[in-house]
Chain A
């Protein structure tokens, strides 16, 4: 059974640009969550999607957005990149929203220069 796949693994962008990250969850999992991980703040929740609907959003500015497709694949977008957006972005899939056990992808390492 394939795990959670995130693409790309590494990305370097310039301040002011935008970026789109992709996540394919485990087959059969309908919930996809996104987290930002930095050395200072640890893992912070960005948002969760279930059946193409955003169920919850963390305390991040509107520059951070996402969506989920009918096949449960998800994308997140960050516009007008800032240096502070440099982080490891992790996607987690769950069978359903009420399940607590999350399975993470390897993450996308975003560097903003």
Chain B
């Protein structure tokens, strides 16, 4: 099983601060995805990164895929309370399954 480790596990910040969360593995992935999950809801796909070194921006969110395709980071600029949620990274495991990290729980307070 290709394990994905996410850090930090929990993060509590004030509105307007910047933050970075990480997703690391010892395995190489053909692609990695980031999802955000709000309480009581299913995960919602934010982005898929495919090429080593790739950087994708989604408004205030910047996603980077490591050169070796073993890790990824998510940077949020000027966090807002609406960014609160569980951020999950996922990579393709064996036989079409997605392997998920345990997530970073982010709380942004006004």
Contact = CB atoms under 8 A, between A and B. Distances in A.
Contact of B45 (A31, A41, A102, A106): A102
Contacts of A98: 96
Q: Chain A binding site: helix, strand, loop or mixed by DSSP?
A: strand
B48 A55 contact: no
Interface in B16-70: 30-31, 33, 35, 40-45, 48
B87 interface: no
B92 to A, nearest CB: 5
Interface of B: 30-31, 33, 35, 40-45, 48, 88, 90, 92-103
8 contacts: A31-B96, A35-B100, A42-B88, A42-B102, A50-B96, A56-B95, A97-B96, A100-B30
Interface of A: 4, 6, 31, 33, 35, 41-45, 48, 50, 55-56, 58, 90, 92, 97-98, 100-107, 109
